[in-house]
């Protein structure tokens, strides 16, 4: 994945729709892998409760891992931004244009051409390396907390049917329907963000999620 330009990186956060939807989908799949192991023939509420607690515990653990890795990725990106500015200031024009071309997505770099990259290089030269924040800020910590809760809270809607429905088969059906509905919303959110077809992308995400869940279960997940 290409690194984001310095100006964009400074304003991005874990609340980006793509990031948010991805974390919710990840949390859903993790929870569904546990809930999917509940047998419709299960009569013991204690067994069901144990599996649901395990699902919640798993998402708590992975939410923590994701939050920490978000901080690691943020710190790494900030070091990369600082190094990029240093190289732009110390290198010649051709080297600077090549560096910026590598940072931009290929379609944008090719469309910008040498002239566009040079204009961008000149603008970036006005930014001293010291202006690139290097440490973890309060906003970064806040974003990592958002990541944690996105993964963890995505579990609860799937668990609710088991709290109010005694019949395991019915509870499983409603839990899966809720999961598909949440996947649809995630796909629709991504479509709105990218100016795509909301209905089509929502249905596609539900189908993809169902296929991924089937693959996870088949592989023993």
| Residue 48 CA, distance from chain mean position | 29
pLDDT at site 50: 75
- Mean pLDDT along residues 49-65: 82
Output the pLDDT for position 138. 87
* Model confidence band, residue 39 (pLDDT cutoffs 50, 70, 90): low
SS3 state at 12: coil
pLDDT at 112 over 50: yes
Give the chain's mean pLDDT. 80
CB-based contacts of 112, cutoff 8 Å, min separation 6: 101, 104, 120
More confident residue, 205 or 26: 205
pTM check: above 0.85: no
- For residue 213, the number of C-alpha atoms closer than 13 Å in the C-beta half-sphere is 22
CA-based nearest residue to 81, from 3, 146, 188: 3
Q: Give residue-wise pLDDT tens across range 181-193.
A: 999 999 999 899 8
Comparing 21 with 37, the larger pLDDT belongs to 21
Tell me the pLDDT tens digit for each residue of 125-180. Answer: 887 877 666 788 888 899 899 889 888 888 888 888 888 887 877 888 888 889 88
In this prediction, residues 15-33 reach a mean pLDDT of: 81
Give me the pLDDT at residue 77, please.
85
């Amino acid at each position: 994945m290409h690194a984001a330009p310095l100006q964009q990186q400074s304003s991005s956060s874990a609340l980006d729709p793509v990031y948010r939807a991805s974390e919710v989908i990840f949390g859903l799949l993790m929870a569904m892998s546990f809930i999917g192991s509940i047998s419709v023939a299960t009569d013991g509420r204690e067994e069901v409760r144990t599996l649901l607690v395990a699902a919640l515990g798993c998402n708590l653990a992975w939410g923590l891992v994701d939050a920490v890795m978000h901080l690691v990725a943020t710190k790494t990106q900030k070091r990369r931004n600082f190094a990029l500015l240093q190289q732009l200031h110390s290198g010649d024009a051709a080297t600077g244009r090549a560096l910026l071309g590598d940072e931009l997505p290929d379609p944008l770099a090719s469309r910008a051409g040498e002239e566009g990259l040079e204009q961008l290089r000149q603008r970036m030269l006005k930014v001293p390396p010291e202006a690139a924040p290097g440490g973890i800020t309060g906003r970064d910590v806040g974003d990592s907390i958002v990541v944690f809760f996105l993964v963890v809270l995505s579990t609860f809607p799937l668990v609710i049917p088991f709290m109010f429905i005694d019949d395991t088969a019915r509870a499983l059906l409603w839990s899966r329907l809720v999961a598909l509905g949440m996947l649809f919303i995630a796909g629709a959110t991504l479509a709105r963000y990218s100016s795509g077809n909301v209905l089509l992308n929502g249905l596609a995400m539900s189908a993809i999620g169902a296929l991924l869940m089937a693959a996870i279960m088949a592989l023993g997940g």
